[in-house]
Amino acid sequence: MISVERLTKRYRETTAVADVSFRCEPGTVTGFLGPNGAGKSTTMRMICGLTPPTSGSATVKGVPYRRIGNPGRHVGVLLDAAAQHGGRTGRETLSLTAQILGVEGTKVGEVLDLVGLPPKAARRRVGGYSLGMRQRLGIAQALLGDPSVLILDEPANGLDPEGIFLMRTLLRDFADRGGTVLLSSHLLREVEAVADRFVVIAGGRIAAQGTKSELLHAPGGVLVRGLDPAALHAALTAAGLAVRPEADGSFVVQASAEAVGRAAAAAGTVLLELRQAQDGGGLEQLFLSLTHGAAA
């Protein structure tokens, strides 16, 4: 479980993160989305105790990250794949981490297999690795201590399609076994396939959060069209619903389809159409509308 409570980070004139709160539950993958400069990395760094918050707090498994003993055994973190010693081989990097964490050396081979880094690549120096190879090594390192929580900042960055598929499968399995995953990305489609929940951040603030269906239903509302638009409008407003007339005579209503249907039925007015205002594929559209103009 990751719990973020009203986290705020200010740098002189820049407010990087403003009053951000969310939770990541065990057994779920949370996609942390937002345009460049939205505040994703800063939030993750605060969760991991690397950046002190201006105000607010974050806990992992109920305690601040810095108070977790041998944190790598509980939380696997990948914040910057480039932050590896270029002179060591991939295997040496992991062996050293294994020693620090106190895990069996045999685990190194296991995680290398998991992330698809073959023995030949593991014998090469990290300085010569591509970005995708560094990401794979970083994910392997995060998994080494057999943690129950994973915090990964843009892990798909630089991965080839096979690597992206592998990462998705790996994260899904991890969550399905009860793990908690927080995964940032500025690309929605990247995480859409694997995440259960989404936290969308823009300009340092939470723009929306919830499951895919919650996100699509909440801001979009339902679209309704009636045989007699005036009678339908009267019925909807009489029921106390927030109604926005559209140019084509339909209405967008911030309510459930059931509430709209009941209001029309109570007034005895005939409906011709009743559906979610945003339909299939709307998540990307919703993301763009939520974050539009908020990029750095």
Ligand X SMILES: Nc1ncnc2c1ncn2[C@@H]1O[C@H](COP(=O)(O)OP(=O)(O)OP(=O)(O)O)[C@@H](O)[C@H]1O
Q: Which residues bind ligand X (CB under 6 A)?
A: 11, 14, 16, 34, 36-42, 186, 296
Name the residue among 278, 296, 94, 119 with its Cα closest to residue 203: 296
In the complex, minimum distance from the CB of residue 80 to ligand X, in angstroms, rounded to a whole number? 10
Choice between 41 and 250, CB closer to ligand X: 41
Name the residue among 81, 246, 47 with its Cα closest to residue 167: 81
Cα–Cα distances (Å) from 205 to 71, 222, 258, 295, in that order, read 28, 26, 32, 12
Return the beta strands (E) in the chain as ranges: 2-11, 14-24, 28-33, 55-60, 75-78, 149-153, 180-185, 197-202, 205-211, 222-226, 243-245, 251-253, 271-276
Cα–Cα distances (Å) from 232 to 240, 241, 242, 260, 274, in that order, read 13, 12, 13, 10, 12
In the complex, minimum distance from the CB of residue 186 to ligand X, in angstroms, rounded to a whole number? 4
In the complex, minimum distance from the CB of residue 231 to ligand X, in angstroms, rounded to a whole number? 48
Choice between 16 and 164, CB closer to ligand X: 16
In the complex, minimum distance from the CB of residue 200 to ligand X, in angstroms, rounded to a whole number? 11
Here the tokens at position 198 are 């989404």
In the complex, minimum distance from the CB of residue 227 to ligand X, in angstroms, rounded to a whole number? 48
In the complex, minimum distance from the CB of residue 246 to ligand X, in angstroms, rounded to a whole number? 34
Which residue in this structure is represented by tokens 């309704």? 224
Residues in the chain, total? 296
Choice between 54 and 276, CB closer to ligand X: 54
State how beta strands 205-211 and 251-253 pair: unpaired
Return all residues near 185 (Cβ < 8 A) that are at least 6 apart: 31, 32, 33, 154, 156, 191
Choice between 40 and 168, CB closer to ligand X: 40
Choice between 155 and 220, CB closer to ligand X: 155
Q: Which amino acid is at 262?
A: R
Here the tokens at position 74 are 């509980």
Does residue 264 contact residue 255 with C-beta atoms inside 8 Å?
A: no
Choice between 38 and 222, CB closer to ligand X: 38
In the complex, minimum distance from the CB of residue 195 to ligand X, in angstroms, rounded to a whole number? 16
Choice between 96 and 187, CB closer to ligand X: 187
In the complex, minimum distance from the CB of residue 16 to ligand X, in angstroms, rounded to a whole number? 3
Choice between 44 and 286, CB closer to ligand X: 44
